[in-house]
Amino acid sequence: MPRRTNPFQKLSASIMAVFYEPEYEVVESILMRNEKTGTIRELDIKITHRQNPQNKILVECRDHKRKQDVIWLDGLEGKARRLGFPKIIAISSSGFTKPALAEAVDRGIEALHLKEAKERDWRKWLFGLNKFGVQTKFYPVIRRVSFGVPPQYIKKVPRPIDLSRVILLDLNKKSKCPLPAYIEGLQKDPKIANLLSPMNENDAINHYDYKMPCDPGIGFAIEPDTTFIPLTEVIFHIDFIRADYSVPLKHMEIGGNRIMIGESIILGRPTKLVLHEMPGQLKVMLEQEVK
């Protein structure tokens, strides 16, 4: 049986995730077998406690024009009982009839009306934001290294060079450093990031050649050979990603909770931003499609 989904169900799953993660796992559109009958049922959303799998919640969603009635709750209660769910959450885009709300309270079903907040209301929220900035930090990545040597040493430099075997030498300070360790430190040096950041094109992999002149007495050797080869310069070929975004937000209300939703393409992938306003704080979840 193919799994079915829709935008309202996906939105509901994202909101449940910001409520329940990381203590619980939230999975949308999942197939589950009735152990007694063998019948396979599709669940809109399943929420499972990571430490106690028996603590699980069935979440069903309906994006209908009419308010949902008791008949839908009857079906949800039977489905949950047969599949072993102790708790049910029913999410409707149109709300519930008064009898359905009374039945939900009596049966212990959490009935939630997911609706868009009116502008005059959400502007009074503690975090009544129109947009939310997302800045993803990446260290520069050194993809390749080139060595500048005096002309008389060019033929002594092997091609290609195994960078893992290169040792940088400073005869003046009588010190040495494996090139991989030097590269690791350089990639994490904030001075390099600060130097390159202003030149970065946003949402792209930017390529740079960072040239480092060398004083006399600076050189390298290639293990196991200990021959000293002087350096005039070292060129680090660097890839650096800049990812700064301003994501417009839609304001939602569900069960007394204030939610802000934004969608954007971040680093080439569809990304959803979910913000949950709680007393004095804002919980932020970034959800990205992975294929």
Q: What is the pTM of this model?
A: 0.73
| CA–CA separation, 185 and 255 (whole Å) | 49
The residue written with tokens 């959450």 in the block is: 89
The 10s digit of each residue's pLDDT in 63-91 is 999 999 999 999 999 999 999 999 999 99
pLDDT tens digit sequence for 207-262: 999 999 999 999 999 999 889 999 999 999 999 888 889 999 999 999 999 999 99
Picking from 1, 51, 2, 45, the residue whose alpha carbon sits closest to that of residue 24 is: 51
pLDDT bin (cut points 50, 70, 90) of residue 2 is very low
Q: Do the Cβ atoms of 30 and 46 come closer than 8 Å?
A: yes
| The two three-digit tokens of residue 193, written as one number | 């990031």
Strands 87-92 and 110-116, by their bridges, are parallel
Put the strands of the sheet holding 175-178 in their side by side order.
175-178, 166-170, 218-222, 229-230
Give the tokens for residue 273: 């931003």
Q: What are the structural domains of the chain? A: 1-116 (3.40.1350.10), 136-244 (no CATH), 249-291 (no CATH)
pLDDT of residue 200: 74
Q: Is residue 1's pLDDT more than 50?
A: no
